Amino acid sequence: MCGLAHYFESEGLSTVLVGFIREHIEAIKPARGLFLDFPMGRGMGKPNDPEFQKKVIQSAFELLEAETGPVLEDFPEIIPVRDGRMGYALPPELVLNKDDIGDVDELVAAVQREIDALLPDYEAAVAARGRTTVGASELAIKDFAPFVSEFIRGEIPKSPRKGLPAIPLLKLVVEDLEAYYTETRTHRDGIDDLELMGKWFWEETRAGRLLLSLEAVSIVSENKVMLQIVEMSLMTPRFWSEGPLPGSSASGW
């Protein structure tokens, strides 16, 4: 982000950026930067709060009045994060082994029942918002769990999507599945709490269990990409944990 700002600025465009890691803005020195002490994923702070969002933008645009730079200011309001983590993190001890998975058919059926039960509220959420973020994978919702289950059974299936191999597609399906659940609940229950949503999806739903099973299989997979996804915390939310990461005695990276 800060690097991109340099390129645009050198092309004769004035830039202003917002960022979550102050030390990086200090080090890379973009022309104008506003540090936000917010959880990541919330650049304008709060969803459905136009007033707060506009305050962030106005504070950023005030930096365009500076006559010299680089300029780095702090946005005065803080959205607290828990224990220095800027997003939800799975408890390090919540790791499944392959032997814990049990009957995959039963698990998939349980996920399908959850999905069916959530459907009316999901549809209400889409109608109310006029949009959905579900669908990056382009798989039908009913196909999410069966597709994931093939990997849990030790198969690398043929990708049904032309031009996108199976494992990158799996990543998108994992995120689509979570989005289906969280879009539904944030709307149905009027919740805006990333910790609560993370805990519910990953620790309490059968869909979360399905994905933890996928992680368990990936840890012992002979496929290097599957293993790498887990080791780099790209499948399950462990980036903000104290570690160790599954399959490792270290904290990764």
Partner 1 sequence: MTKISEMPAVGRGFISNLELPTFDNLAWTTPVPPNQRRISIVSTAAVSRRGDKPFSWLAKDYRTFHKHDRDLVMTHVAVEFDRSAWQQDLNVIIPLDRLDEMVTDGEIGSVADMHFSFMGAADPVTMEKSAREVAGQMKQEGVNTVFLIPI
Question: Where in 1-20 is the site for partner 1 (CB under 8 A)?
Answer: 1-20
Contact (CB, 8 A) for 108 and 145:
yes
What tokens appear for 25 in the block?
């803005």
Interface positions, 170-189, toward partner 1 (CB under 8 A) = 171-172, 175, 178-179, 182-183, 186-187
Query: Of the two residues 109 and 191, which places its CB atom closer to partner 1 in the complex?
Result: 191
Interface positions, 67-126, toward partner 1 (CB under 8 A) = 68-70, 74, 81, 83-89
Nearest to 169 by CA among 153, 158, 180, 182: 158
Least distance from C-beta 218 to partner 1, angstroms? 14
Least distance from C-beta 105 to partner 1, angstroms? 27
Contact (CB, 8 A) for 101 and 159:
no
What tokens appear for 105 in the block?
């058919």
Query: Of the two residues 98 and 171, which places its CB atom closer to partner 1 in the complex?
Result: 171
Least distance from C-beta 104 to partner 1, angstroms? 23
In degrees, rounded to 5, the angle at the alpha carbon of residue 133 between the alpha carbons of residues 34 and 101 is 110
Interface positions, 195-234, toward partner 1 (CB under 8 A) = 197, 233-234
CA distance 240 to 87: 7
Q: How many residues bind partner 1 (CB under 8 A)?
A: 99
Interface positions, 23-52, toward partner 1 (CB under 8 A) = 23-24, 27-31, 35, 37, 39-48, 50
Contact (CB, 8 A) for 251 and 244:
yes
247 binds partner 1 (CB under 8 A): no
Least distance from C-beta 103 to partner 1, angstroms? 27
Residue 49 C-beta-side C-alpha neighbours within 13 Å: 12
Query: Of the two residues 96 and 125, which places its CB atom closer to partner 1 in the complex?
Result: 125
Q: Which long-range contacts (CB under 8 A, 24 or more apart) does 219-225 make?
A: 219/246, 219/247, 220/98, 220/247, 223/156, 223/167, 225/167
CA distance 203 to 205: 6
Query: Of the two residues 131 and 158, which places its CB atom closer to partner 1 in the complex?
Result: 131
130 binds partner 1 (CB under 8 A): yes
Residue 188 C-beta-side C-alpha neighbours within 13 Å: 15
Query: Of the two residues 104 and 179, which places its CB atom closer to partner 1 in the complex?
Result: 179
166 binds partner 1 (CB under 8 A): no
Query: Of the two residues 140 and 253, which places its CB atom closer to partner 1 in the complex?
Result: 253
Residue 2 C-beta-side C-alpha neighbours within 13 Å: 20
Nearest to 29 by CA among 74, 72, 76, 75: 72
Query: Of the two residues 104 and 156, which places its CB atom closer to partner 1 in the complex?
Result: 156
Work out which of 113, 129, 142, 153 binds partner 1, going by CB under 8 A: 129
